[in-house]
Structure 1
C-alpha cells in the first residue's frame, strides 16, 4: 500500500554560495531517501528552500551596503541552480520571502496565540550605542556559558549546540565593531515552551529508532528544562508581526528561528497549489499514517526535535516528525569548512569542472552519519578512479563490449542456468532487499556499500566464467553468462539510482531500455533476449592523478585571495 512521505530538508542561509559541507549531510541523504521512496511507489513531497531572513544575510547586507533582499535573492538563485544541477529532486525548492510563507507563518503565530501559548514580556537585549540599534542573534558573540567556547552567537553555540539568548553570553561583544553593547529593555512576544515539557518528554521517549546523537542531544536539552523563548526581534527584515492583533510591532519581525521551520509547512502548501490540488498538503500533514522526515545538520537538532514539535503541538492537528535525520559535520582536509576563511570547495566551482555523480557517490560514501568525516581530494580521486571506474564502470563496460562484439549487438539467449548463474541472480534480489532495508532505516553509507558489493560480485563472476574464452568453445554457456551479467547490470541500475541517478539513466540507455529508470520501480528489469543493444561507451571519466595536487593548490590560493 502506497504511503505519503514528506521529506523536509534544512533551509540554508543565503549569505554565500553553497559549499560541499552544506550539502553532504542534508541534501544528499534526503535525495537518496526521496528517490528510493518514489521508486517503490510511495507518494513523496520533498521540500525546502532558502532561509531569506537569517541574520547572516542581514549581516552581509550591512557589510556590503545593500539591502538584505539584494543579498538574499542573489544567493537564492545560485543555490537553486546548484540544487537542480546536482539532481536533487525537490518537488518544490522555494524561499521564505513569499506571500504564502508570510501568511502561513502569521497563521501559526495567531493560532498559538489563540490557544494561549503567546504572551508579551519585557526583555533586556543588547543595544549598540555606536550604531543606535538593537543587536540580535549573530550580531553579537561571546563565551558560551555551557562549554566555554569563545565565539558562541546570541542564538546558539556552534561548538556544543546549546540554544542561547544574548544575556547568556559571557564577555558579549558586537560582531560589527567589537564594542561591548549595553542592555536595554524592549518588549517581545514569547512562546510558552515550558508548557510542552511533559508532552515532548513523552513523545521523545518513544523515539527509540532515532539516531543516538539525535535522541541523546534532545533528551539532554529537555533535561535542562524548557524555558519560554522570545519569537520576535527588533529588526525590519523578516516576516511582519500581524498588525491587527499586536500593536507596537511595526519595527519588529517574527524571529527567524520561529518562522524558518514553518517553511516546511508553507512550502508543502505552495507545492500543493502548484500541483493543481491546493488541499493535497493535508495528505502529508493531517493523515495519521503519513510519515515525515527532517534532514538536518547536528547544529539544528533541538530546533527540529523540541522547538518545532512544540509549535506543532500548540497549533494542533498536524503530524509530528517521524524522524529527524541529523548528520554530523563534513570537514575539509581535517579542518571545518569555513566561508569566512574561504576554506571550502564551492559547489558552483566544482560543477564547472567535474561531473555530478562522482561527487554524489563520494559524499554518500563518507556521509557523516554518526561522527564527523573528512572530504579530501585524494579520497575523491580514489572513489572516482578506483571504485566508479575500476569496479562499477569496468564491470558494465566489459560485459556490454563482449556481448555486442560477439552477439551481433543483441542480448544473447540463455540456455539452462548453472549453479553459479543462479547464485548471481539470487544476489541481485538480495541486494535490492538489503539496499531497500538500509535506506528505509536511514543507513545510507551501508546501502551504498551493499549496492557496490553487487558490482564486485559481477566482476568476480565474469572472471570465473571467462565468457571471452567460452564464446569460442561453448557459445551457449557464454550466452548464459552474459545474459546473467546483463541482468546484474539492470539490478545495479536500480540499486544505484537513488545515489547516482544520472549514471543510472545512462545504464538504462546502454541496456536499450525504453522509458525511464525511475518509472521501472524497485526491481530488476529483465533483459529481453534478442533485444538490440546500443554501442557501449564508458560510464565514468577517469581523472588525472595531477588533479589532487592542483586542487590542494587551489584551496591554498583561495585563502590568500589568489585563486
Structure 2
C-alpha cells in the first residue's frame, strides 16, 4: 500500500513549543508503523514561508525575509530531528520546486475553469471556484475513515452551508508569483500555495519513475493521513480536498487526525507572554523518549489536555521506570541467573501476535494514546505475574518503536536484532555478553516545583519588559 502522511507546515515567524509539537507527533508514529508494515511511505512537512507575518518578523529582527526563513527553517529541522521525527522530506514553500509546481497547477486550474477572474471596485483577483466542488468535497468526506470528531463536525457544517469561492491572489509583496498577466502587483494567496506543499513535497519524494502523484493520492492502493491541530481543520478538510478534486484526485482515501489544544499548567500556551515549553530547553533536561511518551499518553486527541510537570515526572517514575525499566532490568537479571528463558510457550507467542494486530488497528485509527497505554498495561501485567522472557522484551521493544524509538533501538542493539517489521520477532541466539544499560531513571519530584518556578520567572521577565516599554 502507498501511504502519504502530511504534517501541518509550521509558519516561519517564531520558535516551536510543545503545544505545537503535540499535534504533529502522531504523524511520525503513523509513518514509523507503516514502514514497519512494509508499506511505501512518504512522510512530509515543511516550513510555511510566505506572507505578511514573515515580513513583520523580518522587520522585528532586523533581517531580510530570506534570512528569517533560513533561520527558522533550520531551527525547525533541528527541532524535529532532536525529537526523532522521521520525515522523508521537510521542505519549505520558498523552494524553487514548490514555486514552479504551484504556478503550473494554478495555470492548469485556470484553464480548467476552476480559477476565474473577479473584478470589483477597480481591483481584480483570481478566485478558486470552490462552490462548484461541494459534491466532490462531500464525497471525499463520506469516503474518509476515522476522522476525529472535531474534524467531522466542522466539515459537516461547511458542507451543509454550501462552500464559497476563495480568493487565490492577494496584495502581498512576498510570495509565489501569479503566472498570469495583469497580476504583477499581487502574489498567490498563502492558503492555496501552502496547502499545495503536500503535493509538491510528495512529488519530490517519489523515486520510482513509473509512479505518479495519482498513485499516492487517487488509487485504490493508497491512503492519505493529514495531521494537524483543530484550528487548521477547514483548510485541510474543505479547501485541500477541493484542490485535490479540481486537480482530478476525487478518489482520495483520507484520514484526518486533528488534535485539540494542549495547555500548560492550566493556562493556554502563549509565545507573547513566554508561557511555553520551548523544545531546546526541555531537551536539555529530559530524554526525548520521556517527552514523546508523555505527549502521547497526555495527547489532546478528543478534548483539550494539560501539560503538568507533576504528571510529567510521575509518568517517568511510575510508568517508564517502575513498569518498563523494571521489566527490562528484571528480564536481563533473571536470564543471566538462569531463571529466565529466551522463549516459553505458544500461548506467549499468540498473545504477543494478537497485540501486534490490535495495536496496529489503533494506530491506523488514530487512537495513539490508547495504543501506547495498552502496551504499558501489558508490561505491567508481565511484571505482576513475574512472567519474564527474552522474547517478550524484544517484542515489547518492537511494539514500542513507533512511539519511543530510542528505547526500542537500545534493546534491539543489545540483542543484535536487525529485524524491524510489524510482526513477532523470533530469537534463537543471545549474545554472550549481555549487560543491562540504563534507559530511564527516577526523577526527583521536586523538579516539578522548580520547573513551574522557572516558567513564572520567564513570564514575569516578559511582563516587566512590556512595562518598561
Match of 2:117 in 1: 120
CA RMSD of aligned residues (A): 2.2
- Counterpart of 2:318 in structure 1 is 386
Q: Post-superposition shift, 1:513?
A: 2.1
Equivalent residue number for residue 23 of structure 2: 25
Q: Show structure 2 runs of 5+ residues with no match.
A: 464-469
Per the alignment, residue 375 of structure 1 pairs with 307
**Per the alignment, do residues 66 and 530 of structure 1 end up closer, same or farther by CA in structure 2, a change over 3 Å counting?**
closer
Matches within 5 A, 1:530-549: 531-549=431-449
User: Which residue does 1:471 correspond to in 2?
Assistant: none
Find the partner of 2:236 among 290, 304, 308: 304
Partner of 1:324: helix, strand, or coil?
strand
CA distance in 2: counterparts of 1:286 and 1:202, whole angstroms: 13
TM-score, normalised relative to structure 2: 0.93
Query: Does 2:390 align with 1:486?
Result: yes
* 2:3 maps to 1:5: yes
Distance 2:228 2:314 in 1: 28
- Offset at residue 203 of structure 1 (A): 3.4
Q: Deviations over 1:269-290 (max 9, x none)?
A: 2223xx4748554531353321
Any idea what SS the aligned residue of 1:72 has?
helix
- Which aligned pairs between 1:136-215 and structure 2 lie closer than 5 A? 186-207=123-144, 209-215=146-152
Distance (Å, rounded) in 1 between the aligned partners of 2:274 and 2:342: 57
Question: For 2:210 and 2:287, how far apart are their aligned partners in 1?
Answer: 37
Structure-1 residue corresponding to 2:192 = 258
Do 2:50 and 2:174's aligned partners in 1 also have CA atoms closer than 8 Å?
yes
User: Within 1, Cα distance between the matches of 2:429 and 2:181?
Assistant: 75
Asked whether the 8 Å contact 2:219–2:252 carries over to 1, the reply is: no
1:43 corresponding residue in structure 2: 40
Alignment of 1:242-281 (within 5 A): 242=179, 246-272=180-206, 275=207, 277=209, 279=211, 281=213
The 2-side partners of 1:321 and 1:307 are apart by: 16
Query: Aligned partners of 1:357, 1:334: CA distance in 2, in Å?
Result: 24
Pick closer, same or farther for the CA change 1:204–1:297 going to 2, 3 Å: same
Work out the CA distance in 1 between the residues paired with 2:407 and 2:430: 24
Give distance in 1, aligned partners of 2:311 and 2:210.
46
Q: State the match for 2:159 in structure 1.
A: 222
Query: Any conservation in 2 of the 1:48–1:267 contact (CA below 8 Å)?
Result: yes
TM-score, structure 1 as length reference: 0.78
CA contact (8 A) 2:260 2:303 kept: yes
Q: 2:227 matched to which residue of 1?
A: 295
Give the aligned partner of residue 363 of structure 2. Answer: 439
Structure 1 position 202, deviation (Å): 3.5
Identify the residue that residue 503 of structure 1 maps to in structure 2. 407
- Per the alignment, residue 466 of structure 2 pairs with none
User: How many angstroms apart in 2 are the aligned matches of 1:460 and 1:444?
Assistant: 25
1:57 aligns with 2:49: no
Aligned residue for 1:445, secondary structure, equals: helix
- Partner of 1:520, secondary structure, is coil
SS in 1 for 2:5: strand
Of 81, 84, 105, which residue of structure 1 is paired with 2:81?
84
Could you tell me whether the CA contact under 8 Å between 2:274 and 2:462 is conserved in 1?
no
TM-superposed deviation, 1:62: 3.0
Cα deviation for residue 461 of structure 1 reads 2.1
In the aligned structure 1, how far is the partner of 2:173 from the partner of 2:325?
54
Unaligned runs of 5+ residues in structure 1 are: 125-184, 463-480
Match of 2:379 in 1: 455
Of residues 9-18 and 221-230 in structure 1, the stretch that sits farther from structure 2 once superposed is: 221-230
Distance in 2 (CA, whole Å) between partners of 1:79 and 1:224 is: 37
User: CA 1:522–1:332 in 2, change beyond 3 Å: closer, same or farther?
Assistant: same
Q: Using the alignment, how far apart are the partners of 1:278 and 1:78 within structure 2?
A: 35
**Structure 2 residue matching 1:189: 3-state secondary structure:** strand
Q: Which moved more, 1:355-364 or 1:214-223?
A: 214-223
What is residue 287 of structure 2 aligned with on the other side?
Answer: 355
What is the rounded CA distance, in whole Å, between the counterparts of 2:444 and 2:432 in structure 1?
34
Q: How much does 1:317 deviate? A: 4.2
Residue 346, structure 1, aligned to residue 278, structure 2: yes
Q: How many pairs align? A: 463
2:446 pairs with 1:552: no
Contact 1:432–1:491 under 8 Å retained in 2: no
After superposition, what is the alpha-carbon deviation per residue over 1:193-227, rounded to whole angstroms, capped at 9, x for unaligned? 11112332343234463222211110101222222
SS at match of 1:561: helix
Change beyond 3 A, Cα 1:357–1:278: farther
Higher Rg of the two aligned structures: 1
Whole-Å separation in 2 of the counterparts to 1:91 and 1:217:
30
Deviation of residue 514 (structure 1)? 3.6
